[in-house]
Amino acid sequence: MKRAPGFTLIELLVALAIFALVASMAYRALDGTIRARDALEAESAQWRDLSLAFARIEEDLATLLDRRSVNANGLADDALRLSSTVPGADEASFALTRLGFAGAGGEGAAPQRIGYRFREGALELMIWPGVDQAPRTAPGVHRLIGSLSAASWRAMDAAGQWQNVWRSTDVADANKPGVFPAALELNLTLLNGQRVRRVFVVRRG
């Protein structure tokens, strides 16, 4: 007796099993490719953020201004200040006064009070409305670099020694010209454990 044309149940089951195996292998390969692409894009974005942040810091230091500020509590602050303590809600670990942006109009042309701090896994830029602050004035906060586990600053003195704290104002005579470091060092630790170190030369604007 002739068998009717077609596939037997066993042949169909074998074909389905082979198809499922091939599909599973293809899915894993595709998933791995997508994961690798996403990781590469995230890493590229982080290095882009690093480059932009470093460029911003270089510009700030190149236009450093020897101008003390008055904070929201009415207290005089240094033209450049580096602190090793954890900053508060409206405070920066590293703060300075800089010239306005060249070619800018309005508020952008006036001297600015800015600062940087590490907070909740990110390096943040803080910009105050003016060099001298009215009571209860809060800065604008901008996220520069994310996915960080640590960030710290150091300042190099005239002898080439690194210091964790810096005040440009002479404590004995606040009217003396400010004393500024020769360089600033920024150390970052990424979430993957990789460390990034950048040294910025301090130039007066």
pLDDT tens-place string over residues 75-130: 999 999 999 888 888 899 999 999 987 666 666 678 999 999 999 999 999 999 99
Q: What is the distance between the alpha carbons of residues 192 and 106, in angstroms, rounded to a whole number?
A: 42
What pLDDT is recorded for position 88?
83
What pLDDT is recorded for position 14?
77
What pLDDT is recorded for position 86?
81
- Tokens found for residue 127: 């910009």
Per CATH, the number for 46-201 is: 3.10.610.10
Average pLDDT over the chain, rounded to an integer:
88
Global model pTM greater than 0.95: no
Residue-wise pLDDT tens digits, 49-82: 999 999 999 999 999 999 999 998 899 999 999 9
